[in-house]
Amino acid sequence: MKGLILVGGYGTRLRPLTLSYPKPLVEFANRPMILHQIEALANAGCTDIVLAVNYKPEVMVGALKKYEEEYGVSITFSVEEEPLGTAGPLKLAEKILQKDNTPIFVLNSDVICEYPLKDLLDFHNAHDGEATIVATKVDEPSKYGVIVHDRDVPNRIDRFVEKPVEFVGNRINAGIYVLNPTVIDLIEMRPTSIESETFPLLVEQKKLYSYDLQGYWMDVGQPKDFLTGMCLYLSAQTKKNNPNLSQADFITGGNVLIDPSAKIGKGCSIGPNVVIGPNVVVGDGVRIVRSTILKNSQIKDHALVKSTIVGWNSTVGKWARLEGVTVLGEDVTVKDEIYVNGGKVLPHKSIKDNVETPQIIM
Amino acid sequence: MTSKAVILIGGPSRGTRFRPLALDQSKYLFPIAGKPLLAHTIDAILKIDTVTEILLIGFYENSIFEDFITDYNSKLRYSNVNCVIKYLKEFKALGTAGGLYQFKDEILKNNTSDNFLLIHGDIICAFPLVQMIEKFEHVKASSNQGKKSPDAILFGVNLDHYNYDLMLTMNSTYHTSFGLIVADPKENDKVIHYVEKPESKISSVINGGIYLFNINVFKLLSDAKIEKIRKANDENYFDFIDEDTLSIERDILQKLPDLNQTYVYNYKGFWKTIKTPADAIVANELYLDLIYQSKQNCSLAKPSININPPVFADKSTKINYTKTSKIGPYVSIGKNCVIGSGCRIVNSIILDGVEIGNNAIVKNSIISKNCKIGNWTRIEGSGMNLVSINELIRKNGTSKMKALLETNENFKVIGIRDSGNITILGSNVQVKDEVLVLNSFVLPSKQIGEDLKYEVIM
């Protein structure tokens, strides 16, 4: 089995975090984002994983080396000279992807969900199509491309309706696919889109099916969605009784993941929906809710951190208040008693004055 | 020596700018550093040993100051101070001098000297009253017309000498809101010109609202009164004339320079008029500083790792210190308050019976009686306070500071530009856990469950 992860660019939408590390290495729930997908692929039996990237992944090569051993997979970088869209990378990596007849998983690196890949594969093998799209149901389908099924054959896709005005269905493409290797033959070696060019061909041949994803799904490519995705992920862990969730007495409302190396002070209230990374030091009387604190950061006494991502090696001062999807880049210092609302703070900055309205701090 | 002092306190229709705090009581009774604003003025007057009567003139109902005056008088009797405080109610709003004229007999009765002290009740400063009297006596003694008393000693404030006062001058048209005094330094600072709110800046010395008047100024008031009645009866004069009102500025000060016997006492310390709640925060800073630097600083909380002076906390207040709580500088806390652990309070006034939860931060705010503030709340005014002004001036110098203030709308000095840079909670307001109240006014008895920014909650 083989898998392709569409990583793409550096992840500008997740700046200022991605000014320091490429997006796949930014920790989501204390593990690099890409690892959630690598693990899912490995568990589904993949041995060859291709990362489709369009920048020089020096820092990633080293980072991913150890995961190759850990998960017993071979990870290859497929570097695009120019962005090849969502289908081009498959063509570019055809040597690996077409080396045998087993189906290929294609995952979007921004997506966080349960990854029921084994179940998906069974579904794929059970129908006569060439490809399966994972579909997720949304409340407002009018914002997306909606999948419309064939009236006669269950799950077979009849057409896609882009941003429908009238209700035609609420299933949308979740950015996860299983393809038979022959699908690559339909793709030309140029920048092309799998959604708008390859899939319509398969629809014509009546060879495209959709699989309903159970549970949560979130594109975590930008800070606001990163936090929403974190909440969904943590809720799912609570439902699964994940033993890694913290049960300490300072937890309020559950859904809290704390790295064992983090230190938490007295009289804190943490949760719901909080991730605290390795070596983080939280002082006394700190309140954290709906936030991610990345590794080596320090939250000083009596601070309140709400709907915020605190970047690596950052310091939040005493009685500071961060909220409103504030994102601190790497090595940012927020001085004592400062209020930051929706600030996107670039790395190595020191914040000495209140930031009352959402803005970028250069 | 001076035996009578008058404090002008106006009336309820004058205190509207002090809302929402003035909804509960007169601004003069608003407590700062453990005592009402008015008590600071009275205590400054009591430093003049010879004063035997302090008259409060205004048009508030008698009942407003009744308790305050009764308590004060019994305290004075108890400590054998030979001085009585009296409230004299004008029959209506009489302008700045109408009350003086109405109560002329009270002011002259038992007056053992030829002068009396007059103070606008909403002035705060270091009150160098004894020095003003000394100046009066000095002028008298050195008079070449045989110990003739001057007509008046004016209190001239030079705004260039104190960092906060300097802020008042940062607005290039500041002179249009003050009375300006021109004096001759070669002649013992004899006043040669007085002009009220001029269009051009003719002097950097402003009228600070404190006067040591010769009792002969009543002659000027009688003349003004006669002139008014004459005009009111003049059929050729069409404007409406309220013959009851008189003005210190128009009917006394502007006439004095021509009489050639008025001098100015030059003052270079802190000075401010208290009109809005933001001014109360400034008064709190300035008075706490004054007390801290004086001999009475034992009334303040002792500096420690938790207390950054100056801080006043009533003895009945319970502060739950943990090693990380930090209170001050410039904090006044009233009676029977409970302050939770890990709290940060700076530059704020907390009135009686307030409860503050753990890990809360209160900054540049006034929290009125019996408010309940939850854990991890943030009650904040974001304006520049005394500490930040001093720091900015030290870093940038005054000229650069001026440029900063003119170009940057965000630099709002508390008590100067507008009042949108402090937070005030009216009495009995409840703020739930983790809520932020930023630069907002909350009227009494409201429950705040969601963040407030730049709002007024009725």
What ipTM was estimated for this complex?
0.78
pLDDT at B419 over 60: no
- Mean of the pLDDT values across residues B341-363? 95
Q: Is residue A163 flagged as an active site residue?
A: yes
Which of A285, A339, A354 lies at the smallest CB-CB distance from B342?
A285
The dihedral through the CA atoms of B119, B121, B122, B123 has a sign that is positive
pLDDT at A273 over 90: yes
A306: closest chain B residue by CA:
B434
Are residues B271 and B344 both part of a single domain?
A: no
Are residues B264 and B145 both part of a single domain?
A: yes
- Mean of the pLDDT values across residues A51-62? 78
CATH of the domain at A277: 2.160.10.10
Least confident span in A92-96, A210-214, B101-105: A92-96
Least confident span in A77-91, A278-292, A300-314, B304-318: A77-91
Task: Identify all chain B residues contacting A285, using CB atoms and an 8 Å cutoff.
Answer: 322, 324, 341-342, 358-359
Are residues A214 and A267 both part of a single domain?
A: no
Number of domains chain B is built from:
2
A283: closest chain B residue by CA:
B324
Domain that holds residue A285: 244-361
Please, which residues bridge with residue B319 across strands? B339
The H or E element spanning position B46 is helix B37-46
Q: Is B335 left (phi over 0), alpha (psi -120 to 50) or beta?
A: beta
The verdict on residue A28 lying in a domain is: yes
Write down the mean pLDDT value for chain A: 89
Are residues A67 and A213 both part of a single domain?
A: yes
pLDDT of residue A351: 94
Write down the mean pLDDT value for chain B: 88
Q: Which residue has the higher pLDDT, B177 or A233?
A: A233
Are residues A159 and A16 both part of a single domain?
A: yes
Tell me which of A162, A184, A219 is where a domain ends. A219
- Mean of the pLDDT values across residues B411-420? 71
pLDDT of residue B14: 57
- Mean of the pLDDT values across residues B30-54? 93
Are residues B371 and B424 both part of a single domain?
A: yes
Are residues B268 and B363 both part of a single domain?
A: no
Mutate to test the interface with B, among A266, A307, A319 (most CBs of B within 10 A): A319
pLDDT at A18 over 90: no
Tokens of B50: 């010879």
Q: Note which residues in 241-270 of chain A have CB less than 8 A from chain B.
A: 267, 269
pLDDT (tens digit per residue) in B297-327: 778 888 888 999 999 999 999 888 777 889 9
Stated pTM of the model = 0.84
Tokens of B143: 């008079």
Are residues B375 and B226 both part of a single domain?
A: no
pLDDT of residue A99: 81
Q: Does A272 touch chain B (CB under 8 A)?
A: no
Are residues B353 and B452 both part of a single domain?
A: yes
Q: State the virtual CA torsion across A297, A299, A304, A307 in degrees, nearest 10.
A: 10
- Mean of the pLDDT values across residues B148-159? 91
A339 with B436: Cβ contact below 8 A: yes
Q: How far is A299 from chain B (nearest CA, A)?
A: 14
The verdict on residue A237 lying in a domain is: no
Are residues B151 and B14 both part of a single domain?
A: yes
d(CA B307, CA B360): 16
Domain that holds residue B13: 4-275
Q: Are the beta carbons of A217 and A135 closer than 8 angstroms?
A: no
Q: Could you tell me how many CB contacts below 8 A there are between chain A and chain B? A: 60
Task: Identify all chain A residues contacting B380, using CB atoms and an 8 Å cutoff.
Answer: 339
pLDDT (tens digit per residue) in A220-261: 889 999 999 999 999 999 998 999 999 999 999 989 999 999
Are residues A190 and A292 both part of a single domain?
A: no
Q: How far is B274 from chain A (nearest CA, A)?
A: 27
The verdict on residue B427 lying in a domain is: yes
Task: Identify all chain B residues contacting A321, using CB atoms and an 8 Å cutoff.
Answer: 361, 378, 436
A301: closest chain B residue by CA:
B324
Are residues A126 and A275 both part of a single domain?
A: no
The verdict on residue A229 lying in a domain is: no
The verdict on residue A347 lying in a domain is: yes
The verdict on residue B367 lying in a domain is: yes
Closest CA to B204 of B162, B142, B256: B162
Q: Which residue has the higher pLDDT, A86 or B378?
A: B378
Crossing angle for the helix pair B95-102 and B217-233, to the nearest 10 degrees: 110
Instruction: Quickly state the pLDDT bin for B18 (edges 50, 70, 90).
Output: low
d(CA B176, CA B231): 28
pLDDT of residue A78: 83
Instruction: Quickly state the pLDDT bin for B23 (edges 50, 70, 90).
Output: low
Task: Identify all chain B residues contacting A323, using CB atoms and an 8 Å cutoff.
Answer: 436
B359 with A337: Cβ contact below 8 A: no
Tell me which of B275, B298, B329 is where a domain ends. B275
A285: closest chain B residue by CA:
B359
Task: Give me the residue label for tokens 């090693």.
Answer: B323
Q: How far is B376 from chain A (nearest CA, A)?
A: 7
Q: How far is A333 from chain B (nearest CA, A)?
A: 19
- Bond into A181 cis (ω within 30): no
CATH of the domain at A141: 3.90.550.10
Instruction: Quickly state the pLDDT bin for A325 (edges 50, 70, 90).
Output: very high
pLDDT of residue B172: 65
The verdict on residue B290 lying in a domain is: no
DSSP per-residue letters across B73-120: HHHHHHTT---EEEEEE-SS--HHHHHHHHTHHHHHTT--SSEEEEEE
A11 CB contacts (<8 Å, ≥6 apart)? A18, A22, A23, A24, A26, A221
Are residues B102 and B147 both part of a single domain?
A: yes
pLDDT (tens digit per residue) in A188-200: 888 888 888 888 8
pLDDT at B434 over 90: yes
Are residues B345 and B250 both part of a single domain?
A: no
CATH of the domain at B144: 3.90.550.10
Number of domains chain A is built from:
2
Q: How far is B411 from chain A (nearest CA, A)?
A: 11
- Mean of the pLDDT values across residues A138-143? 81
CATH of the domain at B323: 2.160.10.10
Helix locations, B245-385, DSSP H: 256-259, 277-293
pLDDT of residue B166: 77
Are residues B249 and B361 both part of a single domain?
A: no
Are residues B263 and B350 both part of a single domain?
A: no
Q: Are the beta carbons of A270 and A288 closer than 8 angstroms?
A: yes
Least confident span in A123-132, A307-316, B101-110, B161-170: B161-170
Give the DSSP letter of residue B110.
T
Are residues B221 and B326 both part of a single domain?
A: no
Are residues A44 and A131 both part of a single domain?
A: yes
Tell me which of A158, A184, A219 is where a domain ends. A219
- Mean of the pLDDT values across residues B141-166? 84
Tell me which of B253, B275, B297 is where a domain ends. B275
Q: Are the beta carbons of B94 and B244 closer than 8 angstroms?
A: yes
Q: Are the beta carbons of A120 and A104 closer than 8 angstroms?
A: no
A336: closest chain B residue by CA:
B344
Are residues A134 and A254 both part of a single domain?
A: no
Are residues A154 and A117 both part of a single domain?
A: yes
